[in-house]
Structures are given as structure tokens and as C-alpha cells.
Amino acid sequence: MSGLEPFGARLRRAMDERGPLCVGIDPHASLLAEWGLNDDVAGLERFSRTVIEALADRVAVLKPQSAFFERFGSRGVAVLEKSVAEARAAGALVVMDAKRGDIGSTMAAYAESFLHKDAPLFSDALTVSPYLGYGSLSPAVALARESGAGLFVLALTSNPEGGEVQHAVRSDGRNIGATMLAHLSAENAGEEPLGSFGAVVGATLGDLSSYDLDINGPLLAPGIGAQGATPADLPRVFGTAVRNVVPNVSRGVLRHGPDAITLRDAAERFAEEIRHTVTSS
């Protein structure tokens, strides 16, 4: 398989050129209603097309949430396929937020769905869940390396329920979240300018100085905007790893639709504020 330049290198360049911002494409019913759209496939398609036309040529990353497309069945997935292709063609990197996780041949099939270069849903990176054991992700890791794609592994998520798993302590005294970060650091060893295997780490979690976030890979950080975190919080939360943070903003940008100009203005404000915060820290 002829792969792309590694995801980490492509992401580093996109963040440096366009600003370190990921905008979610989250067409849930309430947001469609706010935009004056019906909660149906036509509304889904209009929403997605508007976001992509407004932002894909200027933000570093777009992150469609697969579930909001899948709920419409095959026609929703067809919209997702088109959205991914159009966003990538316009220059944005696409992180598919599908949070897949399984074992053996099933994990391999999930990987092929999103990480094989010829797949209709091929994305630059995929969110995955390691809670069947990090080793269960091996098929996705291997295919991502082969295709030049990346992974974002759930490590320290912002939802309060996550703590019962991610903060559980192993027999060696290290908790599960820290274990996932250590695995990713090993995956990214020696990669320049940035490894392709990132972690999902919530921007709302406060002081994370007890964790080694310097994994030489990207840190996808949900929680900016509607969930309460601000760009100014990033240096305090992520410390010396802040330059590798990809802050994710969804409602904070999307609520400015359906007007394309106001969507662009909102994204540019977030990107500039984040860039200023990161370079000043």
C-alpha cells in the first residue's frame, strides 16, 4: 500500500500554517433545529456541506462525529462519506470521531473501514478506545502506519464517568490513563516533527502535572467553549506539551451557523486566541 506522509508530520504543518484548531462536525438534532433545519437526511447534508464550505479551506482539522450520521442509516453514512472526501479535498485533515474498539479480526475490520487508503470513509485519523487492552488496537496501529494515518486513543477523557476506568490503579502503581500515555509515547519514539499516535485528553481536567503528556504525539483536547474550558486554560492543563495540543471546539463555533461568514469568523477567533496562548506560554 502506498501511504501518505505520516499523519503527525501533516498535522504539525497544518497546525503551524492554519492554527491549532479542530472543529467538530456534530449535527445533533438540537443544533439542526437552531440552524432552522429539519432533523432528517436533507438537514444533515445541508449542515455538513455548510460547515465544510465555510471551514475546510482554513482550519487545520475537522472532526465529524460518526454517530450523528449513522443514526440516519445508509443515507446518513453516504453523507458522511461525501463530507470526508470534500473536507480532505479542500485541505482540512479529517479526524473521524468513531471511538472504535474491539479485538482481533473485528478491530482489523474497523481499521479497514476508516484507515485503508481505498476505503470510502478513509480519514486522516481515527479515535479509538483501548479499554479491551491497548494491544487490542494493534490492527489499527499497523494499518495507520502503513497508510500514513493516525490514531487518537482515549486516555484522560473529560466526561466524569471516565474516571472509574482511567484513574483505576494497576498493580504496578500506575493508573490506566498514564498507562495509555506510556504506550503512545513508545509508538511515537524517534518520530519527527511529531508522532502520529495521539491521546484524547480533556481540556476541562485541570492540573495534569502528575501525568507525562510529552508523548511526542498530538493531544486532542475536547472541552473548549461550551464545556467550560477556554484557550487560556491550555498552558495550565497541558504544561510543556501545550504546543502539541489540538483543541477541539464544536458548539462554540457551530452555534454561529448557518451563516458561513460568522462560522469562519468564530473559527478564526478561536484559532488566533489558541495560537497566541500557545506561542506565549
Which of helix, strand or coil describes residue 133? coil
Q: Report the candidate in 74, 128, 119 with the shortest Cα–Cα distance to residue 96.
A: 128
What the block records as the C-alpha cell of 260 is 458561513
Residue 140's DSSP bridge partners are none
Q: Report the candidate in 2, 4, 5, 3 with the shortest Cα–Cα distance to residue 192.
A: 5
Residue pair 96/129 in contact (Cβ under 8 Å)? The answer is no
Instruction: Kindly write down the DSSP assignment for every residue of 172-189, as one continuous string.
Output: TS-BHHHHHHHHHHHHTT
| Catalytic residue, candidates 63, 82, 99, 117 | 99
What the block records as the C-alpha cell of 141 is 496501529
CA–centroid distance for 152 within its chain: 7
What the block records as the C-alpha cell of 244 is 502539541
Among this protein's residues, is 63 annotated catalytic?
A: no
CA–centroid distance for 258 within its chain: 23
Q: Rounded CA gap, 232 and 238, in Å?
A: 11
Burial 71-90 (b: 16+ CB within 10 A, else e): ebeeebeebbeebbebbbee
Q: Where are the alpha helices (DSSP H) in 116-227?
A: 138-147, 163-166, 176-187
Which residues are catalytically annotated?
99
